[in-house]
């Protein structure tokens, strides 16, 4: 009797501890979810590592489509930072899909209108937004890797059999049967088999552990698909229908992975510890893993569709939050779709979204734009502001401007290039390859009667002055074709005259007051008429002889057109 009382007491104590842990876990999840609700419209606080960004890129890499934003343009525009500044997604699917969106401009009006409908719906309907966020929050993230990294390696596991696991289970029952003949021998054999099974379990589990993680995530995908598909959330009827179709085709997967998910560490389930020991002794989750592996291999398309649908909804909520964080300093762009659209671009009060105190500028461009101006005056920042807004217009349908009107573009840039030491290529070689890809795209787009928007900062800066001006002139002419609009910055004032028929001239200027220099960062019509390179040397305390002699040489060149020492 005393042993029974002791056992019941221990059982009650264990149950109490488990229930307390479960309640604490639920309360912690509730507090996190409340924080997610409250942070809507606030800048994200999340930090990213280089490896994390590699995993976030996986959906984009698995879904290539023509005319996405290429690596050169993406890096030129610092789009990783822009992604991070707006990503408030609740799930890994949302992270990866938002990244994919930013790299995949839309060229069809229907797709743009559908995304705008989702964004607007969640901005205007808090209850629906919270319902979607709650489900997506439960979906969560994978941890160190993208689910696509796991899925693409499934073939490395080959065909797996559960025969050896079943034999291990059979030996346990044989040992139990032996106890009826000889209790000591049966117990010793049972302990030996249990130890053998546990050691074998950890050896086998180590091989499949990464994939167990992915199966748990797929199970959460299915749970999210079912919950969202059966929810009363409005504005997403098409998405709910497809989610239920995917769930219906894979609902057996939940049964086949029940123990794998049920025993997930840290889930706060009161029976988790008990089942954890049972699965090790009887290979329960290893047997289920082999069953689930076959199911996953047969339903790759459904898994991909669920990630796409849930990720798109998560991204739409994040874009709405980003719009609210801009506090009204944004616009919904007016994009002209179709081959007959003209290349005219209108952008008013545009600014770069990463600047905390930006100076806004406006421009109406019907032909190429050539920017001149002194160093640090704002040319490159303006180029990036226009380029980023063009990308945002065709991806998240949101511009950091008061107004944006333009055709649908194929967008390319050549701005922040570096020499390739590993590949043994000079800066000039890297630069001309970068520009050639734009020229090739302009030529291809002309054949298809579509538009290209390109940005070039200091064209051919990697070569001598005479050849630079000659080659730059011809390249810039090619980039000013009827189907292309080029924004370029240069220090070569000669280009403002050589290209005056193809390009409108604009400039940024500086103001020198005493020993200080000020930059208004305002776009001005016409070519630049001032210089500041030598003035900056003076302000930094360079030797007066350098300053005096440099100024004299510059004046002699401007007066006579030739260099004299």
pLDDT digits (tens, 9 = 90+) for 155-194: 777 778 888 888 887 888 888 888 888 888 878 888 888 8
Which ranges of 329-406 would DSSP assign to H, the alpha helix?
379-395
Counting as low any pLDDT under 50, the low residues of the chain are 265-268
Task: Name the packing angle between helices 183-229 and 237-256 (round to 10°).
Answer: 170
Structural Rg of the chain based on CA atoms: 31
The DSSP H or E segment spanning 364 is strand 361-365
**0.75 exceeded by pTM:** yes
Judge whether 115 and 80 are in contact, CB under 8 Å.
Answer: no
User: Which distant-in-sequence residues (6+ apart) come within 8 Å of 295 by Cβ?
Assistant: 250, 252, 253, 256
Judge whether 216 and 261 are in contact, CB under 8 Å.
Answer: yes
Q: Which of 69, 65, 109 is nearest to 338 (CA)?
A: 109
Q: What domains appear along the chain, each with residue ranges and CATH number?
A: 39-325 (1.10.1420.10), 334-531 (3.40.50.300)
Q: Find the distance separating the first CA and the last CA of the chain, reported in whole Å.
A: 110
User: Which distant-in-sequence residues (6+ apart) come within 8 Å of 370 by Cβ?
Assistant: 476, 488, 489, 490, 495, 496, 499, 503, 504, 505, 506, 527
> Do β-strands 409-414 and 451-457 pair in parallel, antiparallel, or remain unpaired?
parallel
Judge whether 318 and 83 are in contact, CB under 8 Å.
Answer: no
Query: Which tokens is 462 given?
Result: 């990697």
Q: Which long-range contacts (CB under 8 A, 24 or more apart) does 192-196 make?
A: 193/168, 194/281, 196/168
Q: Is 495 exposed, middle or buried (0-12, 13-18, 19+ CB in 10 A)?
A: buried
pLDDT of residue 21: 57
Distance from C-alpha of 101 to C-alpha of 313, rounded to nearest angstrom: 12
pLDDT tens string 540-562? 778 888 888 887 887 777 676 66
Judge whether 201 and 189 are in contact, CB under 8 Å.
Answer: no
pLDDT of residue 371: 95
Q: What is the dihedral of CA 419, 423, 425, 427, to 10 degrees?
A: -10
Q: Which of 199, 223, 213, 237 is nearest to 55 (CA)?
A: 213
Distance from C-alpha of 13 to C-alpha of 6, rounded to nearest angstrom: 11
Distance from C-alpha of 118 to C-alpha of 106, rounded to nearest angstrom: 15
The residue whose two tokens read 């009107």 is 405
β-partners of residue 457 are 489
Distance from C-alpha of 472 to C-alpha of 218, rounded to nearest angstrom: 53
pLDDT of residue 205: 82
Q: Which of 386, 381, 442, 391 is nearest to 416 (CA)?
A: 381
pLDDT of residue 38: 81
Strands (E) in 376-479, as ranges, are 403-407, 409-414, 451-457
Q: How many CB atoms lie within 10 A of CB 270?
A: 15
Judge whether 439 and 473 are in contact, CB under 8 Å.
Answer: no
pLDDT of residue 37: 80
Distance from C-alpha of 340 to C-alpha of 321, rounded to nearest angstrom: 35
pLDDT of residue 58: 95
CA 431-433-437 angle, to 5 degrees, is: 120
User: Which distant-in-sequence residues (6+ apart) come within 8 Å of 75 by Cβ?
Assistant: 416
């Amino acid at each position: 009797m005393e042993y029974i009382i002791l056992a019941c007491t221990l059982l009650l104590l264990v149950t109490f501890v488990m229930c307390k842990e479960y309640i604490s876990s639920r309360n912690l999840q509730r507090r996190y979810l409340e924080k997610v609700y409250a942070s809507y419209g606030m800048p994200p606080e999340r930090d990213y590592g280089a490896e994390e960004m590699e995993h976030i890129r996986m959906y984009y890499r698995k879904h290539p489509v023509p005319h996405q934003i290429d690596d050169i343009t993406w890096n030129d525009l610092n789009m990783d930072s822009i992604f991070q500044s707006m990503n408030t997604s609740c799930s890994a699917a949302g992270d990866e899909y938002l990244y994919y969106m930013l790299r995949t401009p839309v060229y069809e009006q229907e797709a743009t209108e559908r995304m705008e409908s989702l964004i607007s719906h969640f901005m205007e309907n808090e209850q629906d937004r919270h319902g979607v966020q709650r489900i997506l929050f439960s979906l969560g993230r994978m941890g160190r890797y993208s689910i696509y990294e796991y899925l693409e390696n499934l073939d490395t596991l080959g065909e797996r059999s559960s025969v050896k696991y079943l034999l291990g289970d059979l030996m346990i029952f044989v040992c139990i049967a032996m106890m009826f003949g000889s209790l000591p021998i049966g117990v010793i054999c049972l302990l030996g088999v249990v130890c053998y099974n546990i050691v074998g379990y950890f050896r086998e589990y180590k091989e499949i552990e990464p994939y167990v993680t992915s199966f748990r995530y797929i199970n959460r995908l299915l749970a999210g698909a079912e919950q969202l598909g059966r929810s009363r959330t409005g504005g997403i009827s098409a998405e709910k229908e497809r989610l239920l179709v995917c769930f219906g085709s894979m609902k057996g997967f939940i049964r086949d992975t029940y123990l794998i998910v049920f025993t997930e560490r840290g889930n706060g389930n009161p029976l988790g510890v008990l089942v954890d020991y049972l699965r090790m002794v009887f290979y329960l989750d290893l047997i289920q893993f082999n069953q689930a592996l076959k199911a996953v291999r047969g339903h790759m398309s459904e898994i991909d569709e669920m990630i796409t649908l849930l990720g798109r909804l998560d991204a739409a909520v994040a874009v709405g939050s980003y719009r609210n964080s801009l506090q009204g300093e944004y616009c919904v762009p007016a994009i002209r779709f179709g081959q007959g659209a003209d290349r005219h671009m209108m952008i008013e009060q545009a600014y770069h979204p990463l600047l905390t105190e930006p100076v806004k500028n406006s421009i109406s461009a019907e032909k190429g734009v050539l920017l001149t101006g002194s160093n640090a005056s704002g040319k490159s920042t303006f180029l990036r502001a226009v380029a980023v807004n063009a990308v945002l217009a065709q991806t998240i349908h949101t511009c950091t401007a008061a107004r944006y009107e333009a055709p649908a573009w194929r967008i390319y840039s050549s701005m922040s290039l570096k020499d390739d030491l590993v590949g043994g290529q000079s800066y000039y070689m890297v630069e001309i390859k970068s520009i050639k890809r734009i020229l090739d795209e302009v030529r291809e787009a002309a054949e298809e009667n579509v538009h290209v928007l390109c940005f070039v900062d200091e064209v051919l800066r990697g070569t001598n002055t005479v050849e630079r001006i000659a080659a730059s002139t011809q390249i810039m002419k090619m980039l000013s074709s009827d189907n292309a609009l080029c924004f370029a910055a240069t220090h070569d004032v000669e280009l403002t005259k050589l290209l005056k028929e193809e390009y409108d001239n604009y400039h940024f200027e500086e103001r020198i007051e005493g020993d200080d220099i000020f930059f208004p960062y305002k776009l001005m019509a016409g070519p630049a008429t001032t210089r500041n390179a030598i003035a900056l040397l003076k302000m930094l305390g360079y030797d007066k002889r350098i300053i005096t002699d440099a100024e004299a040489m510059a004046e002699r060149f401007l007066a006579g057109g030739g260099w004299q020492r």
